[in-house]
Structures are given as C-alpha cells and as structure tokens.
Amino acid sequence: IGTVYQDRFSNYGKALEYLNRIQQTLLVGGAVAVGRDLATSAGIYSHVVDLPLTDWWWARKQPRGVLTTDALIEAGTVTVTEGSTAVTFSSAPAVSVAGWRLEVAKLPTVPRILTHVAGSTSAVMDATWPEDTQTAASYVVYNVEYDLAEDFLRLTGSPYLHSRYMDPIVVSSREAHDMAFPYGTFFREPPSAAAMIQPRRLQLNAYDTRSYRMEYDYIFMPPDLAINSPVILPRHHRAVLAVGAAMLLAWDKSDDKAENLASEYRELVQRLVQEHRRQLSGGSWAYGVHRTRLGQTDRKGRIQTKGE
C-alpha cells in the first residue's frame, strides 16, 4: 500500500509540474508538445505546435497595472565634494531618495543616490563626484525609474498617463531611449516616453514638480498551479492543460497513447488560437481593414491624403 501511495503521489507531483509547464509555455511561447528533438525521433514531429509569443486576451491583467510617479525635490541647497561620495542637503528630504538621480547646479554629471534615509540630510552617491566641489549649490533630485507589478510579464500596449488627453507613453529600447533622452537633458514636464531597463522595471524620460498616475495593460504570470488554485485559462479551454499534461506523462512512461494525445493537444491549441483571433476581431473596426499610407493608392486607385 505504501508503495502504491508513493507512486500515486509521485505521479501527482509530475502531473502538476507538467500542468505548469503547459501553462507557462502558452504565456511565453515556444514549442508546445514534447521537445522538438524528442518529437522528431519519435516520428510525431507533425504534432508539435510552435506558438509565437501571443498576448492572449484572457491573460491580460484586470484591473490594469498602476504606478504613481514621484514629484521632484529641490528644497534648499546641496554640497558635494570632488573625489567624495558624500552628499549633504541643507534641508532633509522627507522621503528616501535612494535610487533617485541628483542634478547639481545644472552640471552634466547626474549620479544616482545609492543610500539615503528619509528625513536625513546625508546621502551617499554611487560613485565619487568627478567635478569641482559644489558648496550650497542649487540642485534637483528626481526619480525616473519605477518597478512594475510583481506578476508583470510584458506590456500589451503603450502605458497611458492620466492627463487631459490620456496621453500614451511610447516605450522603446533602452539604447534608443538613452540616445534620445540622456541624463542632464531631462525636462520638467509630463513623461512621454519610456524604456524597459529590467524585466519589470521602467525608465521614464521626464520628471515634474507634481506626481502623475500611469496605467498599463500587461500580460501577467500567474502563480504555479496547486490544489484548489485559480486557473486563468477560460473554463471551456482548460482541456488544453489536462491533455497537454497527460501527453507529457505518457511520453515519460513510453506509453503509446502519447502520439494520440499530442494530436488531440494540437487541435485544442488551434481552437484556442482561433477563438483568440475572433475575440480580437469581434469588436475592432480596424481588424482586417485594408489601410494605406500617405501618398499610396488604395484598391480603388485613390491617393491617400492627410485627413482621410
């Protein structure tokens, strides 16, 4: 009895592992089936489904992610010394500015504050100050880097800044962002651009005297499946998880059902893709519409002009 129980517990753990593997592959893309090499050697390569990175409608986080930007601080003056990492504020910032940028007397060197405790006049930079000593100089300390939600996987569109027009934030590569918005050239204005600098960390291109609310749509990574845990996949498509896990278990046990399960899994995934496309097109006026650029002719031979 103990041996049977242990075997069943082992199979349960393996099934749960494969359920999570299937769920994660759906979210991050890739080969959905047994591995490509294994599938080829087993003669069931035709049953492998290569999914592109897909922003499934059901995997979007609801409600959206939200972050609030920090208002700049410039009260009083600051002293920095050539060759030293020490920073001395004449008026202590009420919040911790660790991780913020320090602009002194509009000089081009804009170091990061490495450590600071809220309410303290002392701080430490991430490297020694390379320019001339500045005593009781004007300064601005500001933050342009923000962590996104803990379960953030990827953005599904431009974040929106709460303003009169719900302005979209253009997100580009870090390299393009640094070239367009180098430190020392930032303006006091609402942010209008950003770059992903870490898997869930965003860098903006501006700071202001006030805070802003920004909302962003994103695909989230749910916690690993466990007993009685919620499943984000719609109920009528959850067979994708069950059949996918069964396929991988059968492959582990060299069960001849693996090929049939792989074939069924392929069909279930195709239905999932078809419904996803239908869901996106159902309420879209632009989906599948032939559109031309300025100066090009449409199918009726008309020139596209501004304002059409």
Cα-based distances in Å from 280 to 197, 277, 290:
29, 5, 17
Query: In this predicted structure, what is the pLDDT of residue 250?
Result: 86
User: CA-CA distance, 15 to 155, in Å (whole number)?
Assistant: 30
Phi, psi (degrees; rounded to nearest 5) at 286 = -100, -15
pLDDT single digits (tens) 30-79: 765 554 444 454 444 444 556 778 899 999 999 999 999 999 999 999 99
DSSP 151-208: TEEEESS--EE-STT-EEPEEE-HHHHHHHS-TT---BS---EEEEEETTEEEES-B-
Cα-based distances in Å from 47 to 50, 160, 182, 269:
10, 41, 49, 11
Q: Taking a C-beta distance cutoff of 8 angstroms, is the pair 32, 26 a contact?
A: yes
Query: In this predicted structure, what is the pLDDT of residue 207?
Result: 95
pLDDT along the chain (308 residues), means of 10: 45 86 88 52 52 88 96 97 98 97 96 98 98 97 97 95 83 93 88 95 96 96 90 94 89 84 87 89 63 54 50
User: CA-CA distance, 112 to 100, in Å (whole number)?
Assistant: 6
Query: In this predicted structure, what is the pLDDT of residue 6?
Result: 44
Query: In this predicted structure, what is the pLDDT of residue 187?
Result: 87
Query: In this predicted structure, what is the pLDDT of residue 141?
Result: 97
Query: In this predicted structure, what is the pLDDT of residue 283?
Result: 63
Q: Omega before 63 cis (within 30°)?
A: yes
